[in-house]
Each structure stands twice: as C-alpha cells, then as structure tokens.
C-alpha cells in the first residue's frame, strides 16, 4: 500500500477537518432540529428575481457568460459593488476591488500571500473556524487574544501584553484577523472605540488588519458603525486594512461570489495568487448577480432579511429565557445582527461530551471548542437562529434545556454535590 502520509506535503498534513462540517453530517437526519449550521433562511432567497436576472444574462450576453473571464472580476459587477459600498460611505475605485469565489477563498488567499511556515496571525479566541483552517493549511500559527462578551470583543490589554511577549520571543507576526460585525461564533459587535483602538495598534506596530465582514449588513438592531476599513480611510488612509465581503448572507451563498477591498498594490498581488487557484470567479455567477444588483432590489431584500432574523433572534432569546435553568453561570449573548448567539454554561459542563446527548434528544449545536486553536473552552456552544422556523426554535430550545438541566442535576447529585452542596 502506498504510504500517502509521506507523500502529502507538510501543508496537506497540517490540514484539519472542520468540526462543523463533520457535525453537519451527523445532524442531517430529518428529525433533528439543528442550530448547528450557519445557513441563511432559504425563504429569504429572491428566487423569481434571480431567475429573471439569469434569463436576462442568457438573453443578452450568453457567450460572454459561458466564456473565461478576467481574474480581477466582471466590470459590470465591480461597478455595482462600487455603488453598493458607496451607499455605506466606502470610497472605492476598480483597482481597490477583487471579485472572489466568496469570502472563504479570500480567507485562503490571506495566508497564501502573507505567511511563511511558522509565521503568526493574531486572532480572537474563539474565532471563525474556516479562517483557522486556512491559516493552518499554510503552516501558519495563531496568536490568540481572549475574546469574550464581557469584553466587547478583543481584550486590548491582553493584546498589548501577548504581542509584546511574542515580539520578545522573536515570533514573526503578519496580520490581525478580526470579524468586528457580529462575530462568528459569538455574535459580538465591536464598539467604535475598540475599532479605533485596533487600527491605532496596527499603525503603531506596522501590522495589516484582515477585516472579515460577511455579516456587516445583517444588522437588525442598533446603529451601523464604521468598518475598520472605513476608519482607516477617514484617518491616515494608510491602506493597511483588507476588507472581505460576500453575498452569502445578504443574497444567496450558492452563487459563491464575494469581494476583497484593499489598496491597489495588494489587489495586484492577490490577482496573481488567484490565477493559480481558479483563473477567475464563475463568470455566469458574476454577470447574474450584476443583473440582479442593477434592479436595486438588494436593499429591500436586506431589510426583509434583517426583519426575519430579528424576529427569530428575539424568539430564540425568549425561548432560552423561558426554558433554560436560571443561573448566574448560564448566559447567552443577545446579538444585534448576524446569524449566531453564544451560550456559556457552568464550567463543569463539557459541551463536546454533551453533544451526543443532545443529538439523542434530537437537537444539535456547534461545540464551542471548535472555534479555538489552542486552550479551548469546553463549556460553550454556538446556536444559529436564522435557519430554523419559530416552531422548531421553541421545540429545539426545550430539548436543549432538558439536556442542560440534566447535566446540572447530575453534577449537583454527584459525590461533590452531596458532600459540599453549592453555596457552602
Ligand atoms: C466569519 C466568516 N467568514 C467567512 C465565511 C465564508 O463565507 P462565504 O465563503 O460563503 O462567503 C463565513 C461563513 O459562514 C463566516 O462566518
């Protein structure tokens, strides 16, 4: 038998399966209510309008749609993207934009462009597992910064401390990866002060910031804050922020179209990286979405999607309040946008072990430990509120609460509980 281990590259041997993707396979049985995936609600997909846009592409320019395109991206789509960003106050030229096969490709391009084996990326702990996977597959490492609801995101004091220590130890740190708008997995949105402070930190230490913003427009409560990319434009305009955007959560993920905003020299380098990956983003998809964007209907769609998610998020929070055991050490975030909330349980509950009991009760979540690259917390879980309907949310939370209550009861009834009742 051929020993593939010795043939695979170090990069390939470093690749790790996504716990979430593996879990999704487990939860695909129809009777399971799954809060595990990150799927948008399919009833937000504007099927008829997208069908009409696809027909217009085939009616007017089918040969172009079926041909190779430029690596930089379709010019009509780029013009629409510039308008879309301008409405949010972001100033862009075509040279600041690269169309990509959604943001996961952009996340793979970042370590490809910036990391040599052993180089470090600063990231929140926990953070989006797909970004960790990409970094690790290029033999990059992550310098984790505690990230918690109490702290409104990154702990900046720890950032300064850990950065100084890492520099002293001779670690090569290349960029900071952040999701300031409704972070995956916690749903936290960074304050304006924190965004400004991180930008200032990056200026002071000559670091790039990779700002991943798939949920930026999915704000259903509160006021939109400037992105760090915008703050850089408004401050010294050094061009040290790279902003990743996608249609996955505001239109349809199946189109696989996203865009990178950055200064022209970085975009030019990314174009070369992308050429080796896929030559160009799906040309039909780009023309199709450009046709849809020309109708201007995306703004109503985003509003409708936000209304839908606000209702579901409120309902999930209401159900958690109704069914979960009431304790000071059992808390959840109440995000103002995005697709997820994050539950912290008593320290002695291990959600990795509990998932099997939850699946037996026909409910699923993502184990919190999946979002850490080192020193994982085991008493947390991520719940998605966009995909399930309200009836499923109620039944699912009831089932989950039962599992959690059983864990607490088992702990309280255990030898420690009997000899040292809580409160003593
Ligand atoms: C933070 C974050 N970044 C990037 C992605 C990838 O999105 P896509 O490749 O569909 O644009 C996701 C998907 O859930 C995400 O949560």
Contact 203, 236 (CB under 8 A): yes
**CA-wise closest residue to 333 among 316, 350, 349:** 316
pLDDT band for position 154 (cuts 50, 70, 90)? confident
The structure tokens 């696989």 sit at: 256
**CA-wise closest residue to 342 among 163, 150, 93:** 150
Given a cut of 60, whether residue 42 has pLDDT beyond it is: yes
Given a cut of 70, whether residue 328 has pLDDT beyond it is: yes
Given a cut of 80, whether residue 24 has pLDDT beyond it is: no
Beta bridge partners of 244: 212, 260
- The CB of 248 under 6 Å from ligand 1? The reply is yes
Tell me what pLDDT residue 127 has: 95
Average pLDDT over residues 67-90: 97
Query: Does 256 lie in the same domain as 358?
Result: no
**Does residue 424 form part of some domain?**
no
Per residue in 389-409, pLDDT tens?
Answer: 999 999 999 999 999 999 999
Pairing status of strand 208-212 against strand 241-246: parallel
Where is average pLDDT lowest: 198-212, 263-277, 332-346, 370-384? 370-384
Given a cut of 90, whether residue 28 has pLDDT beyond it is: no
Query: Does 387 lie in the same domain as 332?
Result: yes
Question: For the chain, what is the domain count?
Answer: 2
Tell me what pLDDT residue 422 has: 38
**Final residue belonging to a domain, choices 263, 296, 329:** 296
**Does residue 92 form part of some domain?**
yes
Query: Does 188 lie in the same domain as 272?
Result: yes
Task: Give 245: exposed, middle or buried? Use CB within 10 Å, 0-12, 13-18, 19+.
Answer: buried
- The CB of 230 under 6 Å from ligand 1? The reply is no
16 CA distance to ligand 1 middle (Å): 17
Tell me what pLDDT residue 253 has: 97
- The CB of 338 under 6 Å from ligand 1? The reply is no
Tell me what pLDDT residue 419 has: 42
Collapsing DSSP to helix, strand or coil, 344 comes out as strand
Atom of ligand 1 nearest to the CA of 248: 10
Residue nearest to atom 14 of ligand 1 (CA): 38
- The CB of 102 under 6 Å from ligand 1? The reply is yes
Query: Does 34 lie in the same domain as 62?
Result: no
**Final residue belonging to a domain, choices 245, 267, 296:** 296
Query: Does 306 lie in the same domain as 246?
Result: no
Give all strands of the β-sheet with 366-367 in edge-to-edge order. Answer: 331-332, 340-344, 380-384, 366-367
Per residue in 197-223, pLDDT tens?
Answer: 999 999 999 999 999 999 999 999 999
104 CA distance to ligand 1 middle (Å): 6
Query: Does 140 lie in the same domain as 18?
Result: no
All residues at 6 or more sequence positions from 290 whose CB lies less than 8 Å from its CB, including other chains: 74, 76, 77, 79, 80
Tell me what pLDDT residue 13 has: 77
pLDDT band for position 97 (cuts 50, 70, 90)? very high
**Does residue 148 form part of some domain?**
yes
Query: Does 76 lie in the same domain as 29?
Result: no
Q: Give residue 78's domain range.
A: 57-296
**At 258, which helix (H) or strand (E)?**
strand 258-261
% of the chain residues with pLDDT over 90: 85
Mutate to test the pocket of ligand 1, among 98, 133, 214, 338 (most ligand atoms within 8 A of CB): 214
**CA-wise closest residue to 161 among 140, 183, 143:** 143
pLDDT band for position 27 (cuts 50, 70, 90)? low
Tell me what pLDDT residue 18 has: 65
Given a cut of 50, whether residue 291 has pLDDT beyond it is: yes
Tell me what pLDDT residue 416 has: 58
- Paired tokens of 346: 């008593």
**Final residue belonging to a domain, choices 271, 296, 321:** 296
Given a cut of 50, whether residue 423 has pLDDT beyond it is: no
Average pLDDT over residues 89-110: 96
Contact 36, 22 (CB under 8 A): no
Measured CA distances, 199 to 96, 190, 233 (Å): 19, 13, 11
Per residue in 156-194, pLDDT tens?
Answer: 999 999 999 999 999 999 999 999 999 999 999 999 999
Tell me what pLDDT residue 396 has: 98
Average pLDDT of the residues of the chain: 93
Per residue in 241-259, pLDDT tens?
Answer: 999 999 999 999 999 999 9
The structure tokens 């290029």 sit at: 138
């Amino acid at each position: 038998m051929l020993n593939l281990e010795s043939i695979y590259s170090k990069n390939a041997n470093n690749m790790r399966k996504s716990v979430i993707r593996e879990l999704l396979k487990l939860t695909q049985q129809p009777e399971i209510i799954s809060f595990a995936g990150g799927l948008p609600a399919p009833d937000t997909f504007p099927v008829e309008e997208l069908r009409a846009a696809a027909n217009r592409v085939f009616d007017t320019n089918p040969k172009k749609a079926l041909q190779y395109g430029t690596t930089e991206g379709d010019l009509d789509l780029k013009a629409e993207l510039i308008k879309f960003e301008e409405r949010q106050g972001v100033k862009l030229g075509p040279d600041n934009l690269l169309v990509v096969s959604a943001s996961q490709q952009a996340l793979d391009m970042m370590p490809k462009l910036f990391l040599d084996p052993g180089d470090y990326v600063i990231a929140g702990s926990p953070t989006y597992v797909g970004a960790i996977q990409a970094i690790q597959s290029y033999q990059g490492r992550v310098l984790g910064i505690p990230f918690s609801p109490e702290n409104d995101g990154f702990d900046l004091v720890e950032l300064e401390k850990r950065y100084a220590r890492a520099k002293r130890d001779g670690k090569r740190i290349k960029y900071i990866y952040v999701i300031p708008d409704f972070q995956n997995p916690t749903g936290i949105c960074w304050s304006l002060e924190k965004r400004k402070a991180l930008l200032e930190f990056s200026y002071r230490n000559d670091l790039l910031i990779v700002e991943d913003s798939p949920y930026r427009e999915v704000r259903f409560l509160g006021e939109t804050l400037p992105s760090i990319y915008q703050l850089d434009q408004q401050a010294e305009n050094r061009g040290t922020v790279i902003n990743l955007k996608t249609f996955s959560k505001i239109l349809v993920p199946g189109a696989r179209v996203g865009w990178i905003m950055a200064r022209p020299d970085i975009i030019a380098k990314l174009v070369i990286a992308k050429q080796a990956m896929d030559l160009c983003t799906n040309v039909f998809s780009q023309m199709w979405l450009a046709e849809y964007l020309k109708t201007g209907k995306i703004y109503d769609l985003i509003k409708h999607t936000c209304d839908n998610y606000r209702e579901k998020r409120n309902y999930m929070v209401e159900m958690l309040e109704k069914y979960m055991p009431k304790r000071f050490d059992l808390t959840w975030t109440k995000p103002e946008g995005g697709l997820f909330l994050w539950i912290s349980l008593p320290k002695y509950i291990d959600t990795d072990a509990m998932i099997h009991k939850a699946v037996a009760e026909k409910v699923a979540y993502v184990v919190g430990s999946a979002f850490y690259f080192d020193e994982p917390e085991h008493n947390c879980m991520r719940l998605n509120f966009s995909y399930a309907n309200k009836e499923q949310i109620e039944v699912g939370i009831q089932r989950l609460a039962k599992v959690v209550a059983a864990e607490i009861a088992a702990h309280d009834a255990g030898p420690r509980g009997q000899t040292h009742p809580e409160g003593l």
